[in-house]
Structure 1
């Protein structure tokens, strides 16, 4: 028998998958970016100095370290270098990734698409299942 908690989890999971698929499609179609690539660019842009250690970036993007390394390598090579990697000057075992000006520009354009896609998914006519009912 399905419990209320399980039903709520299934509803949330379905909504998350629907949103993720729509964002993945829009970003890929218009900007040749995956949702994971967008997350990495956004995480780097959000930090005041625009760089993170690879380990931290993997955690922020919700990816394994090997998947993050492959993703960063793609974004380093793609579109004249959206990211750059460099060794930590004080700890040679540490590798940092930094968003480049080209990466910031691509993220800015992709963010507009992401916002438009989210706005389409969450129109005022779409009820928010998590919103509290208005009190009378």
Structure 2
């Protein structure tokens, strides 16, 4: 099989992503966060007034409603209380979440570590090799 095939490129991308995921999981343990929980807080942090509905978070993170709801419950129970839940003023059935001041502080501390991990990976020779493989695969596909 050609080393620059779409299949090989995809598998290499999956392996690279898995390596990042494992490193992020280990790095975020001291913040009592998973990478997905970190993404959850990141989404809230970047919203106007640091608020969002469960549906908005679900759509952004590409998760099921049940997964987002479970994650919200887990985050609410954490010691630093990074989020609060409330009902929308416009629709009492709509559940909204807001990142708290302690959640913002916690997120910012964890973000420094996440950024360092990602920087390490994205400046590595493995990433440069993967990038070259992707570009090479794209050129071959277009020909």
TM-score, with structure 2 as normaliser: 0.82
Matches of 1:62 and 1:93 in 2, distance apart?
Answer: 22
- Structure 1 residue 59: Cα displacement: 2.0
The Cα of 1:127 is off from its aligned counterpart by: 5.1
Give the helix-richer structure, 1 or 2: 2
1:1-136 → structure 2 map (5 Å cutoff): 4-28=5-29, 30-123=30-123, 125-126=125-126, 128=128, 129-131=130-132
Instruction: Give the Cα–Cα distance (whole angstroms) in 2 for the partners of residues 63 and 106 of structure 1.
Output: 23
Residue 124 of structure 1: how far off its partner (Å): 5.4
* Stretch deviating more after TM superposition (58-67 or 31-40): 58-67
Q: Which has the higher contact order (CA 8 A, sep 6+)?
A: 2
Compute the displacement of 1:119 (Å): 2.4
C-alpha distance in 2 between matches for 1:77 and 1:32? 11
Q: 1:44 and 1:95 mapped to 2: Cα distance?
A: 14
Computed over aligned residues only, the root mean square deviation of the Cα atoms, in angstroms, reads: 2.1
Segments of 5+ residues of structure 1 without an aligned counterpart are none
Runs of 4+ in 1 over 2 A off after TM superposition: 119-127
1:10-69 per-residue CA deviation (whole Å, 9 max, x = no partner) reads: 1111111111111111111x2111011100000000112111110111222232111111
- Post-superposition CA distance 1:77-104 (Å, at most 9, x none): 2124110111111112211111000100
